[in-house]
Chains A and B, each alone.
Chain A
Amino acid sequence: MFYLALNYLRVGIQNEMQYRANFFVQLGQSLISLATGYIGLWLGFSQTNELNGWTESELLVVMGIFVLMGGVINAIIQPNMTRLLEEIQLGTLDYALTKPADAQGLISVREFRLWSLTDVVVGIMVLSYGVWHYQGYVGMIQSLEFMLSLLMGSILIYCFWLITTSTAFWFVRVDEIVNLFQGIYAAGRWPVSIYPRWLQVGLTFIIPVAFAVTIPAEALTSRLTPLILVGTAALTIFFSVVARLFWRLGLKNYSGASA
């Protein structure tokens, strides 16, 4: 599966390299998106000095991680899931299912949007700027916790996408899933601790925005406890199993008559 993923990655890069001008389009979009995000932050901090204990530089760290993770989602997770959605609707998923490889693995690695990684670069730059202005200490342990929580966050986001996309096996037309996710993911621009309790629960356990953005930011700003890190690892394993089971359950419902 690893070599298969590498091959798809290579093909994806070659495909994207045919349209080099798209890099500049993507860069323009990333900068505009960053500017609008920053305007929201700036407007808020023109009225106050901190938001529920988070300073402006700490919120820049959150924003950097939000943009970075958005780049990962747009480059890898979302294109694969929207393709899956389309194939379920058209009945062409048969072509993937009949290949001699694990179906879940295969449908998760076929697409790669190289230029969306621009967001990853922009995110890292914002993150670095936020950390630079952050008053606290960022050492080796915090950095390791950050990397680990970022990895687990992206796995959780992938699981959420897979579960939601798999609902297409029953409902067929769930095209708005992209809007649903993008709308809710936007909540990650701010730390989930500022939201009401009911929304915090939703953004943590139903749609794991908290694990994708806030917890990595907490790791960098020394707010993360070992218990939360262990809990995140446990939840990542749990969600991975649930996503796998849900996918298999959905597959049993697939009839792909039109391929």
Chain B
Amino acid sequence: MRHMLDYYLTTIKIAIQTEFQYRVVQYFYMIGMIAEPVIYLVVWSTIARAQGGMVGGYTPGAFAAYYLVWTLVRNMNIVFTPYGWENRIRSGWFSMDLLRPIHPLNGDVAQFAGMKVVVIILWIPLGLLLSLFFKPDLHPVWYQVIGFFFAIWGAYLIRTMLLSLLGMITFFTTRVGAIFELFFAFELVFSGRLVPMSLMPPVVQQAANYMPFQWTFFFPIESLVAPMTLQHMLAGLGIQCLWIVIGWVAVKVMWHFSVRQFSAVGG
């Protein structure tokens, strides 16, 4: 346990130091990433104003709060991409990871956790700037702030499990671009990434209850933005834990069968 903790702390420290060296790259990425919620925000604020100031219970200020928090949640949701899995499996670099006496997923989780520290620090000025422009209607109570902290890390772990599962498909085939795109399309619709779930048709909302996606976007955002009771918050965090466990078990099973397919000798 102790050596695992040391590994995590060291990897996180190295990731922080590495990422701080490339601040311009981080800002390039963030500006590109922030464009997506700004588009949604502008479109839905325009629709809300055209509908008399509110649509689906959201005012332009509420949309601003939703999509502003979205930017932070999205940053937290960035994990080792399935395209990265594809690349390291296809190129043979994965051989090096397999030689280490530790599951490669630990490296991914620790490295991206370290990157989050840098990302959050660099996000703060951008978040403040966006707040000045869009004036979000954001009034969380104390337990929402604490709950939000845990919810974004829960979202990070759920998404890590999901995208690792997806990435492991590349052990079997490298023509996975369309599969990845299909997954991201599903995520866009069922997670609250495109619009708050309450604006989705009822059938989509019901289907989303049986999927993990909304626990990576909608719940963390709503935990800070929407009025939420403590009970509701704790129940949400509990469901996130459940999805993390399900994801972890699925990753273990998938890993067991897929790593046998790996045959690269290079790297």
Residues of A within 8 A of B (CB): 21-22, 24-26, 28-29, 32-33, 35-36, 39-40, 43-44, 47-48, 50-52, 171, 173-177, 179-184, 186-187, 189-190, 194-196, 198-199
Contact B181 A28 (CB under 8 A): yes
Contact A176 B25 (CB under 8 A): yes
Q: How far, in angstroms, from A22 to B173 measured CA to CA in the complex?
A: 13
Interface assignment of B142: CB less than 8 Å from any CB of chain A = no
Contact B178 A28 (CB under 8 A): yes
Instruction: List residues of chain A with CB within 8 A of the CB of B56.
Output: 47
Interface assignment of B22: CB less than 8 Å from any CB of chain A = yes
Contact A25 B177 (CB under 8 A): yes
Size band of the B side of the interface?
35 or more
Instruction: List residues of chain B with CB within 8 A of the CB of A177.
Output: 28
With beta carbons under 8 angstroms apart, the residue of B39, B188, B200 that contacts A187 is: B39
Contact A39 B32 (CB under 8 A): no
Contact B38 A199 (CB under 8 A): yes
Instruction: List residues of chain A with CB within 8 A of the CB of B189.
Output: 36, 39
A-B contact pairs, 20 of them (CB 8 A): A25-B175, A25-B178, A26-B177, A32-B178, A33-B181, A36-B194, A39-B188, A40-B40, A43-B199, A47-B51, A173-B25, A176-B28, A179-B32, A180-B32, A183-B34, A186-B36, A189-B39, A190-B39, A194-B42, A196-B133
Chain A proximity mask over B132-165: 1 for CB below 8 Å, otherwise 0 = 0100000000000000000000000000000000
Instruction: List residues of chain A with CB within 8 A of the CB of B195.
Output: 43
Contact A47 B47 (CB under 8 A): yes
Interface assignment of B29: CB less than 8 Å from any CB of chain A = yes
Contact B25 A32 (CB under 8 A): no
Q: Which residue of B lies closest to A46 (CB)?
A: B201
Instruction: List residues of chain A with CB within 8 A of the CB of B22.
Output: 173
With beta carbons under 8 angstroms apart, the residue of B25, B31, B43, B177 that contacts A183 is: B31
Chain A proximity mask over B22-55: 1 for CB below 8 Å, otherwise 0 = 1011101101111110111011101100110001
Q: How far, in angstroms, from A39 to B31 measured CA to CA in the complex?
A: 24
Q: How far, in angstroms, from A28 to B181 measured CA to CA in the complex?
A: 9
Q: Do most interface residues of chain A lie in helix, strand or loop, or is the interface mixed?
A: helix
Q: How far is the CB of A157 from chain B (nearest CB, A)?
A: 15
Residues of B within 8 A of A (CB): 22, 24-26, 28-29, 31-36, 38-40, 42-44, 46-47, 50-51, 55-56, 133, 175, 177-178, 181-182, 185, 188-189, 194-195, 199-200
Contact B46 A194 (CB under 8 A): yes
Q: How far, in angstroms, from A167 to B56 measured CA to CA in the complex?
A: 44
Q: How far, in angstroms, from A171 to B26 measured CA to CA in the complex?
A: 12
Query: Which 3 A/B pairs are nearest by Cβ-Cβ distance?
Result: A183-B32, A28-B178, A180-B32
Q: Which residue of B lies closest to A177 (CB)?
A: B28
Interface centre among B22, B32, B188 (most CB of A within 10 A): B32
Instruction: List residues of chain B with CB within 8 A of the CB of A183.
Output: 31-36
Contact B194 A184 (CB under 8 A): no
Contact B185 A36 (CB under 8 A): yes
Instruction: List residues of chain B with CB within 8 A of the CB of A32.
Output: 178, 181-182, 185
Given A182-B32, A183-B33, the answer on whether A174 and B24 have CB atoms closer than 8 Å is yes
Given A39-B189, A171-B24, the answer on whether A48 and B39 have CB atoms closer than 8 Å is no
Contact B42 A196 (CB under 8 A): yes
Q: How far, in angstroms, from A26 to B180 measured CA to CA in the complex?
A: 12
Q: How far is the CB of B171 from chain A (nearest CB, A)?
A: 18
Q: How far is the CB of B195 from chain A (nearest CB, A)?
A: 6
Q: How far is the CB of B223 from chain A (nearest CB, A)?
A: 23
Contact B194 A175 (CB under 8 A): no
Q: How far is the CB of A200 from chain B (nearest CB, A)?
A: 10
Instruction: List residues of chain B with CB within 8 A of the CB of A33.
Output: 181, 185
Instruction: List residues of chain A with CB within 8 A of the CB of B55.
Output: 47
Instruction: List residues of chain A with CB within 8 A of the CB of B178.
Output: 24-25, 28-29, 32
Q: How far is the CB of B239 from chain A (nearest CB, A)?
A: 25
Contact B47 A48 (CB under 8 A): yes
Given A43-B199, A47-B47, A48-B50, the answer on whether A176 and B36 have CB atoms closer than 8 Å is no
Instruction: List residues of chain A with CB within 8 A of the CB of B29.
Output: 176, 179-180
Contact A184 B35 (CB under 8 A): yes
Instruction: List residues of chain B with CB within 8 A of the CB of A36.
Output: 185, 188-189, 194
Q: How far is the CB of B42 from chain A (nearest CB, A)?
A: 5
